[in-house]
Amino acid sequence: MIKNDGGIFIIDKPEKISSAAVVSHVKRIPGVKKAGHTGTLDPFATGVMVVCVNQATRLAQFFLHDSKTYEGVMELGIETDTQDITGSVISRIDIDSSSADLSPDSFSPASLSSEHIESVFSGFKGKISQIPPVYSALKHNGVPLYKLARQGKPVEKPPRTVTIHSLHIIKIELPEIRFEVSCSSGTYIRTLASDIGKKLGCGGCLKKLRRTASSGFDISEAISVEEINDPTKREKIEERLISMPEALPHIPEATADKDLACRIMVGMPIKKQDILFNVDVRPSGELVKVVDENRRLLAVVKEKKNSPVYDYCCVFPE
């Protein structure tokens, strides 16, 4: 039985179901009263989903801007309206795989060299500009873009800057290219694949996508939907719940004595000298997670500039 304070599950989302459906499966675990994910995956995509349960749903705000890592497969020569293989084809060019070893000088839409492909991929590292796809969950006047696009009223959002921390090719087997990318939150991998295809001159779309890491959690830590739904594995599933303090490993931790814990529970101001960090050197980050002597998360607080007290981000009463 999951306790009321909850924690997070790392779920390996399968193909052909929505992110909301994954959350619905998690809600079937005994003791889970509420749940929510920290980042949507398209139905055709698989991999890491961070799902917060019970009081830990209030921690979602601390995961929304974290980096993510993906493995993907793009198919050259095909462009679709959704920028992935699930959409309607809007252009097609036959790619001759026998041309893969030609030199860059002889490049044409039907003849791609591995050197030229590597060069184009390199150009997408660092800060880049992306136009969000018209088939996305972003909203226009309160309506998701994908709904407007399905009504024949596509809306194009202005470009925005995202960061590609790393991007490398795993395998070229034309017309497919398997790659790995680590990127900032808000990056559309299908848009990245589409833009690379355009740069290569032949077009391209995303064929497969698997999120292998998110918010510091790896696919190796994930549990499957099948395991969640297997009554014989219920105890093991409950053991895989990551506690709230462990869910925020990147935020410095401080332990409150009984007096400070009582003050936090009633929302009294916390001064900087009240906080004793669990390290020898005071961390420089703005956020602090405060735990009690049993290491139960009491609150997440934030430093205020030019102020001796912290602001409360969230408090977790008994």
Known catalytic residues are 42
Residues 6+ apart with CB under 8 A from 151: none
